[in-house]
Structure 1
Amino acid sequence: MIGSELTEKIIGEAIFVHRNLGPGLLESTYETCLFHRLIKAGLSVEKEKPMPVFFDGVRLDCGYRLDLVVEDSVVLELKSVKKLREIHLAQMITYLKLGGYQTGLLMNFNVLRLVDGIKRVKV
């Protein structure tokens, strides 16, 4: 599956989750439900993938975890906040750079229409 086709599939599954659950729940609920839907769709998904930090020539396990990584290529950072802020975007960019990924989807489930809460991020 090519990049845009994969992200469209992910977004479609996220919309399915949002339509069925609605806004206002915990991030962990959306994460678990989206993980289930992506697996059911036949995609390879890692949940809470550990992400070490390489600093000063040393690998440091700082406790960072990527919410979901789909097909070892798209990082999903899920939020359930009033509004996405610049710091959320900066966090996603940092995760992509540190993990060596090129594509991320920042998703805020605390919106009326999920399409209004999705940002595609490329580095």
Structure 2
Amino acid sequence: MTENEISKIVFESGLKIHRKLGIGLYESIYEECLFYELKKAGISVEKQKSLNIQYEELFLENAFRMDLLLENKVVLEIKSVEVLTNFHAAQLKNYVRLGNFKLGMLINFNSQLFKNGVMRIANGLE
């Protein structure tokens, strides 16, 4: 399954959750529901996956925790905030770049219109 196929399933699953639950809940609730929906869709999902990084000779174990990692290809960062900031995008961009993934998705469930709360960050994706 390609990154783009995975992202389509993520979007559809997130939209379903957004329609059923609405806005204003904790991130952890949306994360659990998305985990459930993606597993139901047959996608391999890891929750709170740690990411190790190396800086020169220094190896940093568990440097970051990604909310969800799908098929070991797509990183999801789940938010429930009033406004996504440049920091949120930079955080995901770093996960994608440092983990050598091709696609990351930032999903803010606190957006009135679901599609306005979804951002894709590509890293060499064709």
Unaligned residue ranges in structure 2 (runs of 5+): none
Aligned to 1:23: 23
Query: Are the equivalent residues in 1 in contact too, given 2:3–2:102 (CA < 8 A)?
Result: no
Distance of 1:15 and 1:28 partners within structure 2:
16
Distance of 1:83 and 1:8 partners within structure 2:
23
Aligned to 2:98: 98
How far residue 53 of structure 1 moved from its aligned partner, in angstroms, is: 2.1
Distance of 1:45 and 1:108 partners within structure 2:
19
Aligned to 1:77: 77
> Aligned AA for 1:103?
L
Structure-2 change in CA distance of 1:88 and 1:63 (3 Å): same
Q: Which deviations, in whole Å up to 9, do the C-alpha atoms of 1:52-86 show, x marking residues without a partner?
A: 12112232124521000111101000111101111
**4+ long deviations beyond 6 Å:** none
Distance of 1:109 and 1:92 partners within structure 2:
16
Aligned to 2:121: 121
The within-5 A match list for 1:24-103 is: 24-103=24-103
TM-score norm. by structure 2 comes to 0.92
Identity %: 41
More strand by share: 2
TM-score norm. by structure 1 comes to 0.95
Query: Are the equivalent residues in 1 in contact too, given 2:53–2:63 (CA < 8 A)?
Result: no
Distance of 1:52 and 1:71 partners within structure 2:
18
Aligned to 1:109: 109
Aligned to 2:13: 13
